[in-house]
């Protein structure tokens, strides 16, 4: 006769500790999901900031128009060196790094910002940082009026 406390009965029906393993696996998975959500959201915010900084740097560079061309009314174009210097100065003041380029016709200024986001949770699995890029562009317009009603 098998008694409930005999070794054979216990071995077949005993699952002591099974819940502990299940809970540990679920907690680790939950921490991983939270980590991906937190670091993913933070990377998105860092990318949005990089886009914002790039756009503002492009606008700052776009203010450096060539005065000789603008005064005589022949064209509204940026002075490439002044525009790049103004955009780079804005990037430095914002604590960002990036590249600035001016189109051949001097009417478009493009800024690309590069950086990284230091992860909070993903560093546990060896991902210490995520790359972040932003893009901004300013185009000079001359003689454009707003549509009626705006």
Q: Is residue 71 part of a domain?
A: yes
**What's the predicted TM-score (pTM) here?**
0.72
Q: Is residue 146 part of a domain?
A: no
Domain that holds residue 124: 7-139
Mean pLDDT of the chain: 83
Q: Is residue 85 part of a domain?
A: yes
- Span of 9-18, 37-46, 131-140 with lowest mean pLDDT: 9-18
Q: Is residue 1 part of a domain?
A: no
pLDDT band, very low/low/confident/very high, at 143 (cuts 50, 70, 90): low
The per-residue pLDDT for range 45-89, each reduced to its tens digit, is 999 999 999 999 999 998 887 676 666 766 677 888 999 999 999
At 124 the pLDDT is: 83
State the total domains in the chain. Answer: 1
Q: Is residue 38 part of a domain?
A: yes
Q: Is residue 2 part of a domain?
A: no
Greater pLDDT, 17 or 21? 21
At 67 the pLDDT is: 72
Averaged pLDDT for residues 107-131: 91
Q: Is residue 150 part of a domain?
A: no
At 2 the pLDDT is: 52
Please name the residues in contact with 79: beta carbons below 8 A apart, sequence gap of 6 or more: 64, 65, 66, 106
Is the pLDDT reported for residue 5 higher than 50?
yes
């Amino acid at each position: 006769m098998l008694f409930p406390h005999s070794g054979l009965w216990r071995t077949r029906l005993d699952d002591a500790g099974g819940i502990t393993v299940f809970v540990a696996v679920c907690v680790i998975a939950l921490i991983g999901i939270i980590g991906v959500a937190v670091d993913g959201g933070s990377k998105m915010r860092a990318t949005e900031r990089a886009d914002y900084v790039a756009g503002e740097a492009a606008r700052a560079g776009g203010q450096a128009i060539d005065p000789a061309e603008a005064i005589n009314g022949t064209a509204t174009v940026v002075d490439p060196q002044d525009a790049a210097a103004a955009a780079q100065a804005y990037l430095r003041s914002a604590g960002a790094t990036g590249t600035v380029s001016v189109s051949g016709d001097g009417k478009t200024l493009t800024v690309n910002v590069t950086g990284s986001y230091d992860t909070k949770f993903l560093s546990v699995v060896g991902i210490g940082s995520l790359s972040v890029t932003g893009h901004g562009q300013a185009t000079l317009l001359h003689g454009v009026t707003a549509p009626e009603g705006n």
